Amino acid sequence: MLIANHSSYIDIMLMLRMQKTPFVFVGKKELVKIPIFGYLYKRAAIMVDRSSSSSRFGVYERAEKVIQKGYSVCIFPEKEYLDETLLLNPFKKGAFKLAAKHKLPILPLVFLDCKRKFPWYTTHGYPGSLRVKALQIIPVEGVLSKSTEALQMELHQQIKTTLEKDPQGKAMEAIEVWKKKTA
């Protein structure tokens, strides 16, 4: 199971570049409407209609089929992510429930530069190199003994702390830039 903070349009491309083994995204159905990208996305993602509880529940069944084929699953677990003034939003439970159910180790990745260089509001970014930090893999042993909520909170804190302690401080800089723009 791959998880990462979601702070940019380029996060998906960066994840594809970082992970060498095959994986499938779990992502929102609305992205299928984007020309060209939507066509590719439809073939590389388990789509979920966030407004439908049956669609959200169905993700588990569809993910199980993908996992049985030997693929990893990638989820950006933040509840909302378009507010540029927040460093990291709270996480949804789905990724952690899925990891626990299928005994999948979790690899947390931190995208350090995307929020500043390629933000949701593209008028505020600039091109450049992007750094990614892989945190320690959370082994499957113990995932079931911890509540998924504790695991969710632990990984949220690890990613947030990594962003806060980044020596270059690009995510923190992005927040300050956006606050000045909206003031």
Q: What is the mean pLDDT of residues 75-104?
A: 88
Please, what are the domains in the chain?
A: 2-182 (3.40.50)
**In whole angstroms, how far apart are CA 54 and each of 47, 59, 60, 90, 102?**
12, 9, 11, 23, 20
Give residue 90's pLDDT band: very low, low, confident or very high (50, 70, 90). Answer: very high
Taking only the tens place, the pLDDT of each residue in 155-172 is 999 999 999 999 999 999
pLDDT band at 141 (very low <50, low <70, confident <90, very high): low
| Distance between CA atoms of residues 78 and 108, nearest Å | 13
pLDDT digits (tens, 9 = 90+) for 52-79: 888 877 888 888 899 889 899 999 999 8
pLDDT band at 113 (very low <50, low <70, confident <90, very high): very high
Write down the pTM of the prediction: 0.88
Torsion angle (degrees, nearest 10) of CA 89, 95, 100, 105 = -90
Residue 41, Cβ neighbours under 10 Å: how many? 19
